[in-house]
Structure 1
Amino acid sequence: MLPTADISCPYCGETITLVIDDSAGAQRYIEDCHVCCRPIVVDVSIDDDGDPVVHASAEDDA
């Protein structure tokens, strides 16, 4: 089962849930907000315990 992360959209502020593929290690990708459809830059890193750490930002902030 893949882990999930709740993030706040940097555009509309709504909380959305992302499914994280933690087998890929650190990654950066674009995910459209499920509410306002704007592109969110998602950065995923893996902490020392092997858990994903997710940071979301607007395209202009990346």
Structure 2
Amino acid sequence: MWTALPVRCPWCDERFEALVDPGEASTEYVEDCPVCCRPISMQLDVEGAEARLRGTRED
């Protein structure tokens, strides 16, 4: 089941929602910002029923 989690772009500082599968284990992946199109290194942390998403610059 996919869930939308809020994240802030570390490049342009805009907020957006990224779709993640919280049924997956904690993982890292790269997603482009839908506003400025720069790559964001995403870290999905899953602990039980809780899922958190962080975005950092990839430079």
TM-score (norm 1): 0.85
State how many pairs are aligned.
59
Q: CA deviation at 1:35?
A: 0.5
For structure 2, the residue ranges without an aligned partner over 5 or more in a row are: none
Which 4+ residue blocks in structure 1 deviate beyond 6 angstroms?
none
Q: State the superposition RMSD in angstroms.
A: 1.1
For structure 1, the residue ranges without an aligned partner over 5 or more in a row are: none
**CA deviation digits over 1:20-61, x for unaligned, max 9?**
1112211100000000000000000112x421111110002x
Identical-pair percentage? 31
Task: Report the Cα distance in structure 1 between the residues aligned to 2:49 and 2:25, rounded to whole angstroms.
Answer: 9
**Structure number with higher strand proportion:** 2
**Structure number with higher helix proportion:** 1
Q: How do 1:1-62 and structure 2 match up within 5 A?
A: 1-47=1-47, 49-60=48-59
